[in-house]
Structure 1
Amino acid sequence: MKHRTLAAGALAAALLTAACSQPTKTEVQTDSSATSATTETAAKDLPAVFDAYWEENAKLFPLDATTQGDNRYNDQLPNDGTVAFRKDLQAFYQKYLGQLQQFDREKLSDNDKISYDIFQYDLQSKLDGLKLNTWMLPYQQFWGLPITMGQYGSGEGVQPFKTPEDYDNWLGRVRGFSVWADTAISNMRQGMKAGVVLPKTLVQKMIPQMNDLVVTDPTKSLFYGPINKLPASFSAADKQRITEAYRTAIMNELVPTYRRLGQFLQTEYLPKARPSTGIAAVPGGPDIYRYYVRYWTTTDKTPDEIYQTGLAEVKRIRSEMERVKASTGFKGDLPAFFNYLKTDKKFMPYKTPQQVLGAFKAIQTKIDPNLKKMFGRTPKTPFEIRQTEAFRAASASAEYNQGSPDGSRPGIFYVPILDAKTFNTTSGMESLFLHEAIPGHHYQISLQQENTDLPKFRRFAWYGAMGEGWALYTESLGKELGLYTDPYQYMGALGDEIHRAIRLVVDTGMHSRNMTREQAIKYMMDNEAISEQGATAEIERYMAIPGQALSYKTGALKIQELRRKYEQQLGAKFNLSNFHDELLKDGVMPLAVLERKMDAWAAKQAANN
C-alpha cells in the first residue's frame, strides 16, 4: 500500500541504520527559575520546536521530503550507513527531546498535549533504535535503497521529472547511490564477521533483483524511463544534454553499482548467510526483535502474548468460516471449500476490466447511505478507482495511493486486473474496498493530511498499528454498512481477517520461538486459501522486516476493544459517528496515546447531559 510513503524513508532509515554504539540517555534538567516563563509561552513556542524539527528532518531524510512534496533536496542522497550519520541522528533526536522536556505538559492545550506525547514517544523510540546493530543489515529483498532507487528513478514514482532542473537533480542522487553502496558492502562485511547476517533464502532473492538492473544497452534500463518521457517543451539542446547525461549515468554509475552489489552478494555474502529463519539467531537478536515488536505495535506486548493472541484469533475465525461454509450447503472440509471458491467459474463473471471496476464502484454506492450515519467528518480530497497500469500490474496488489494535502491529486484505489475473465468475486472484494479505499485508508489519511491544525510531523506521520489497524477495523464494519449479505463475500472478508491473525502466529513464531520458514509456510497454507508461492512470499517478507506484520491485527483489536469499552461505559450516550470522528481527527499516533485521548473524549461524553 503506497500510502506508507508518508514516512517510509525515515522509518527504514531509523531502523536499518541503527547504531551498535550504546548512547546514554541524558536527562534534561529544567532550571526552576525559568520554568514559569517557559510554560507561560509554551503554547506559542512548542509549535516552533516542531517546525524546526521538521525542517532539519527534511535535510536528513531528503527522500521523505520529496515524497511529501518538498522539492528543495531532490538532488540529495545522504550516506546513511556511516558512523557519522548515525551520530548526527543521535544528536538530532536528543537535542529535540531535550527541547521538548523544557515544557510543562500539564499547561499545554489538549492538542499540544497529544503532540507532546507523540513527539516524545517518537524521539525516544528512534534513540532506542540507534542502540541496535541493525546497521549491518542495510537492505534486503523487500525494501532498502537499491529498491527505492528504482521506484524513484523510473519516472513513474514521486521524484518529479518536469523541468531540466528536475532531470539534473536525479543525477545527484545517482552519484550519492554509488557512495552509499560502498558503505553498505562495508557494513555487511562487518556483519559477516560479527554473525549479523541475513537468512540465505532472502539473499537468494536479492541477487536477481540486483542483476536485473544490470544492462548493456542504456535504453533498456529502468532508469531510462524519464528519457522516454522528456517533455516536448524542453529545448533541443536540453534534450540532447540530458539524454547523454542519463546514458552516461546508467552505464558508468548505476550499472556498475548494481553489478558490484550483485557480485558481492553472490560471491562473498551468500556463503556467509545464515540457514536460520528468525532474527533471534544473530547476536543481540532477541533484543532486536523486542524492539521491533514495540516499534511496530506501539505497545509493550511481549512476543509470547502476541503469539497466544494469534492462536486464539485463528481458532475463532476458523470456527466462523466453518459456520459460513455450512450455511452454503457445501459438503466437504474447509480446504475443499477454499478450492471451490478459487476455481468455480460462477465466481468469475466478468469479461472486461470496466466490469471489475464497476463492481467496486457499486460497492461504494451501496455503502454510501450508511457511511453518512457512521461518519460526520469526511475528506475533501477527491477519490477515484483506477485499474493498475499494465507495466506494473503483474507484480502489484490492490493498493491505495494517497492524494495531495491540497486535494489537487485525488486519492486513488488501484486494482490490478491482469485478466478480467479470471478476476474472482470471492477474493474479498467488499472487505478489500473497505480497507484500501473507503472508509479505510482514504478517510484516515486524507483527514490527517487535511488537518492544518496538526504540526507537520503529525500531518505526515505513519504508525502502522493505528493506520493499518484502522483499515483492518473498517473491514469489520461490513455488515453495518450493508455488505457481507452474500456468504461468499463474507467468506472473503474472513479470509482477509484470518490472514492478519496468522501473521501474529508466524512472525512471533519465527523470530522468538524457533519456528522455521518451512513450518511457517505450512501453517499459513493450512489455515487460509493461499498458494505455496503466495505463502512463501509472505513468510519471506516477515523474515525480512520482523514485527511489521504484527501492526495490523494489534491495532484493529485495540480499536475494537475501545469501541466495546465506550459502548458499555456510555450506554445511550455512545454515538458511533462521534467515536469514528474522534478517532480519526487527530491523525495516527501510538496506541497508548490514542487510548488516553479517547478516554478523555469518553469522559466528556459521559459528562454531557
Structure 2
Amino acid sequence: MKKRTLAAGALAATLLVSCSQSAQTEANSDAKTSATAEAAPAQNLSGVFEAYWEENSKLFPLEATAQGDNRYNDQLPNDQTQAFRQGLQQYYQKYLDQLQRFDRSTLSDNDKISYDIFQYDLQSKLEGLKLNTWMIPYQQFWGLPISMGQYGSGEGIQPFKTAEDYDNWLGRVRGFSVWADTAISNMRRGMRAGVVLPRPLVQKMIPQMNDLVVTDPTKSLFYGPINKFPAGMAEADKKRLTEAYKTAIMNELVPTYRRLGQFLQTEYLPKARPSTGIAAVPGGPEIYRYYVKSWTTTDKTPDEIYQTGLAEVKRIRTEMERVKNSVGFKGDLNAFFTYLKNDKKFMPYKTPEQVLSAFRAIQTKIDPNLKKMFGRTPKTPFEIRQTEAFRAASASAEYNQGSPDGSRPGIFYVPILDAKTFNTTSGMESLFLHEAIPGHHYQISLQQENESLPKFRRFAWYGAMGEGWALYTESLGKELGLYTDPYQYMGALGDEIHRAIRLVVDTGMHSRNMTREQAIKYMMDNEAISEQGATAEIERYMAIPGQALSYKTGALKIQELRRKYEQQLGTKFNISNFHDELLKDGVMPLAVLERKMDAWAAKQ
C-alpha cells in the first residue's frame, strides 16, 4: 500500500471519517500567494480549478502541508463541527454550480477528463456529507489523534527546519485540544444514536491514546523535534522552543490524549457494539453502499463484489495447487502454507543489508524488460530503505512518494525486525513490483511530475486506480523476467489471493453478517498468514469499510482493458504505449479511465 500519511485520505470516503486527515500524496507544490488564485476568473475552467485548490488548502491545511504548501502549517481547523460540515457543503456545491456553466462538448480532451473527474469528486463528496459518519471521527487505523503523532514526531511531513517551523507546530497543538473536545461530543451523540465502533477496535484505540501520555516531557514522541534542532539555529530560539515544547506537551498534548483515552475506556467502550459490520448501525447499509461506490469508483453492488471474490479465490487456489504439486510437496495446501512460513531454508539472510540487497537485485533484474514495457519513466529519484526502528514493529512495507521537483526521492521502505527470520517466500518480487517499480513509484511520480494537470489532479488519489495499478503490475512479473523460482511465484499468488480474500471478507462483514472471527478464519484457511496478521487485517477492514475492495476491483478493470485492446488492435497493440497512456493523466475514477482508454484505442 502506498504510504498513507494518515492520510490515506483526500478521498470522499476518508474525508467522512475525519475531514482533517492528511493527504495521500506528498509533494512540493509551487503554491503562490492565495490572493491571486482566489481572484481567478470563473469564466475559464483552469481558473475554477485553481480557485478550488486554493480554498481546499485552507480548509484542509494538513493536506496542504503534505503537498509541500507550507502557508497553513500552524493551522488545524475544527472539522468536527456542524458549521464546518455546512461550510464544506456550500464549498462543494459552489464549485459544482460553476463547473456546470461550461459546455463539456467544447472542451479539449484533457479538459474533458478534468471536467469529469471534478464533477465526480464533488458529487461524491456532497453525497457523503449526508451520512451520519461524523459520529465516528476516528478509529485505530486513521484519524487526527494518530496523524498528530506522525506529523509532530519530527520524522514525518511537518517541516522542522527553522524557528518559524517549530512555532507553527505549536499552533497545531493548540487546535488539537479543541478538536478532541468536539470529537468526544460527536462520539457521545453517536452513543445515543447507536452509531459506534465495534468493541475490538475500541480496545485497540485505548492503548494508542495512553502510549502518548507521559510524566516526563523529554520522553514524549512530540519531543522528537527538540532532540534534532537544525544546525545553525540561534541558541536563544533553542532555549525558548525547548521550554515551549515542554509546556505544550504537559499542558496541551498529554491532557488531550489522557482525556481521549479515559473517555474511550470509561464511557465509549461499554457502549461499543458487539457486531462486526457497519450494516448494524442506523443507516449502515446506506453508508456501506456509499463506501463501496467511492472506494471502487464503480456502481457494483456488495453482492456482485462478494461473488467476484469467491470466484477469484477459487481460481488462484487452483493455481497454488498446481505450484505445490510442481515442487513435489505431498501434503495439502494448508500444510504447504505452513511449510513456506516456517522452513529455515526460506530464511537465508543474516543482516538487514542482505535483505535490502536482495530487493536491489530484483530492480537490476527487471530493468532490461522495463524498457520494453514503458516508454515514459519518472524523473523522481528512487531509493530502497529499511523502515526506521521507532515504527518498524507496526509497519508494513510501503512506498513514500518523492517530491515533484526531485528534491526528495520516492522511497520503498522495508520493515526488518529480524533479518534472520525474513522470509523469501513472502512474495519479495511481487512486493517490489507493487510498492516500488513499476507500481507506486511510476504511477505517483509521473502524475506529480505532469505540470499540465490541474493541481486537484496532480495530487489526487483514487485507490481503485492507484492500488489497482500497483496490483496489476504484480501480474507483469513473468513478462519482466521474474517468478522463475516457483516459491517466488507462490509468494506472488499469495499476494494476489490476499486481495481476492478482501473482496469476500469486506463485503461479507459489512453486508452479509459475517463475524470478525469467521472472517479471520476464512483468511487463514486461504493464505499463508498468521493469526496475528489476519486479525490486524480484518480489524483494518472493520475500521475502514470498502477501502480494501479498491485493489482487486481496479486491477481486474485494467486487465480487462488490456485484453480488450489486444483483441481489438491485434498487431497494432503496443504494451508500452498502453502503459504510458494509462499512467500519463494520473489517477481517475474507473469509468473515466475506460472512456479515456477507449478513445486512445480508437486512434491506434
User: Structure 1 length as normaliser, TM-score?
Assistant: 0.94
Distance 1:300 1:472 in 2: 21
Does structure 2 conserve the Cα–Cα contact (< 8 Å) formed by 1:6 and 1:462?
no
1:27: which partner in 2?
A: none
Give 2:389's aligned residue: 390
Superposed CA offset, 1:413-448 (max 9, x none): 111112222111111000000000000000000000
What is the one-letter code of the residue matched to 1:407?
G
**What per-residue deviation string (whole Å, max 9, x for no partner) do you get for residues 108-157 of structure 1?**
00000000000000000000000000000000001100000000000000
Instruction: Provide the residue aligned with 2:226 in structure 1.
Output: 227
Distance 1:42 1:72 in 2: 23
Give the match's secondary structure for 2:239. helix
CA distance in 2, matches of 1:278, 1:9: 21
Residue aligning to 1:14: 15
The one-letter code of the counterpart of 2:573 is F
Q: Where in structure 2 are the equivalents of 1:183-222 lying within 5 Å?
A: 183-222=182-221
Q: Is the 8 A contact 1:9 1:63 kept in 2?
A: no
State the alpha-carbon separation in 2 of the partners of residues 5 and 593 from structure 1.
26
Distance in structure 2 (CA, Å) of the matches to 1:261 and 1:423:
37
8 A Cα contact 2:427 2:492, kept in partner: yes
> Is the contact between residue 308 and residue 505 of structure 1 (CA under 8 Å) also seen in structure 2?
yes
Cα distance between partner residues in 2 of 1:2 and 1:400: 5
Q: Following the alignment from structure 2 to structure 1, what is the Cα–Cα distance between the partners of residues 61 and 42?
A: 29
Which residue in 1 is equivalent to 2:104?
A: 105
Q: CA deviation at 1:4?
A: 4.0
Partner of 1:309: 308
Question: What letter matches 2:313 in structure 1?
Answer: V
What CA distance in whole angstroms lies between the structure 2 residues aligned with 1:441 and 1:232? Answer: 34
Matched with 1:348 is 347
User: Match for residue 22 of structure 1?
Assistant: none
- Alignment gaps of 5+ in structure 2: 20-39
Change (3 A) 1:331 1:441: same
Match of 1:360 in 2: 359
1:12-411 matches, cutoff 5 A: 14-16=15-17, 45-411=44-410
Distance 2:131 2:101 in 1: 28
Question: Does the 8 Å CA contact 1:13/1:80 hold for their aligned counterparts?
Answer: no
Shift of 1:394: 1.7
For residues 540-586 of structure 1, what are the alpha-carbon distances to aligned partners after superposition, in whole Å with 9 as ceiling and x for unaligned?
00000000000000000000000001111111111110000000000
2:15 is aligned with what amino acid? A
Conserved? CA contact 1:16–1:138, under 8 Å: yes
Is the 8 Å Cα contact of residues 17 and 134 (structure 1) preserved in structure 2? no
2:352 & 2:133 partners in 1: Cα distance? Answer: 44
Give 1:229 shift.
Answer: 0.6
The CA deviation at 1:8 is 3.4
| 1:377/1:43 CA distance change after superposition, 3 Å | farther
Alignment pair present for 1:456 and 2:455: yes
Per-residue CA deviation, residues 257-299 of structure 1 (Å, 9 max, x unaligned), is: 0010111111111111110000000000000000000010000
CA offsets per residue over residues 375-428 of structure 1, 9 Å max, x none?
Answer: 001001111111112222222111111010011111111111122221111110
In 1, the alpha carbon distance for the partners of 2:18 and 2:419 equals 43
| AA of the residue aligned to 1:299 | T
The percentage of counterpart residues that share the same residue type is 90
Alpha-carbon shift at residue 10 of structure 1 (Å): 3.5
Task: Evaluate the alpha carbon distance shift between residue 426 and residue 8 of structure 1 in structure 2; reply closer, same or farther with a 3 A threshold.
Answer: closer
Distance of 2:516 and 2:57 partners within structure 1: 38
Preserved CA contact (<8 Å) 2:309 2:500: yes
* Equivalent runs, 1:529-544 vs 2, <5 Å: 529-544=528-543
In structure 1, list runs of 5 or more residues that go unmatched. Answer: 19-40
The 8 Å contact of residues 196 and 283 in structure 1, kept in 2 or not, is answered as: yes
Q: What CA distance in whole angstroms lies between the structure 1 residues aligned with 2:388 and 2:101?
A: 51
CA distance in 1, matches of 2:572, 2:306: 36
Task: State how far apart, in whole Å, the 1-side matches of 2:528 and 2:229 are.
Answer: 45
Is the CA contact (8 Å cut-off) linking 2:468 and 2:555 kept in structure 1? yes
The code of the aligned residue for 1:574 comes to F
Distance 1:316-1:598 versus aligned 2 partners, 3 A rule? same
Match of 1:552 in 2: 551
Offset of residue 6 of structure 1: 9.8
Deviation of 1:2 (Å): 4.6
Deviations 1:133-187 (Å, cap 9, x if unpaired)? 0000000001100000000000000000010000000000000000000000000
Please give the root-mean-square deviation of Cα atoms over the aligned residues, in Å.
Answer: 1.4
CA distance in 1, matches of 2:114, 2:3: 22
SS at structure 1 position matched to 2:44: helix
- After superposition, the Cα gap between the structure-2 partners of 1:121 and 1:5, relative to the gap in structure 1 and judged at 3 Å, is farther
Counterpart Cα distance in 2 of 1:86 and 1:437: 37
Provide the rounded CA distance (Å) in 2 between the counterparts of 1:238 and 1:407: 31
2:245 is paired with a residue whose SS is helix
Trace 1:493-504 onto structure 2 (pairs within 5 A): 493-504=492-503
Q: CA deviation at 1:5?
A: 4.1
Distance 1:44 1:194 in 2: 45
Q: Find the aligned partners of 1:366 and 1:277 in 2 and give their Cα distance.
A: 44
Identify if the C-alpha distance between structure 1 residues 6 and 53 changes in structure 2 by more than 3 Å, giving closer, same or farther. farther
Contact map agreement 1:495 1:528 (CA 8 A) in 2? yes
- For 1:8 and 1:63, locate their aligned partners in 2 and report how far apart those are by CA, in whole Å: 12
Counterpart in the other structure of 1:418: 417
Task: Provide, for residues 495-521 of structure 1, a one-character-per-residue CA deviation record: whole Å limited to 9, x for no partner.
Answer: 000000000000000000000000000
Aligned counterparts of 1:13 and 1:153: Cα–Cα separation in 2: 21
Instruction: Single out whichever of 232-241 and 458-467 deviates more from structure 2.
Output: 232-241
Q: Please state how far the C-alpha of 1:232 moved relative to its aligned partner.
A: 3.4
Match of 1:28 in 2: none
Q: Conserved in 2, the CA contact under 8 Å of 1:388 and 1:414? A: yes
1:8 maps to amino acid:
A
Measured in 1, the distance between the counterparts of 2:300 and 2:72 equals 39
TM-score after normalising by structure 2? 0.95
Instruction: Indicate conservation of the 8 Å contact 1:17/1:86, yes or no.
Output: no
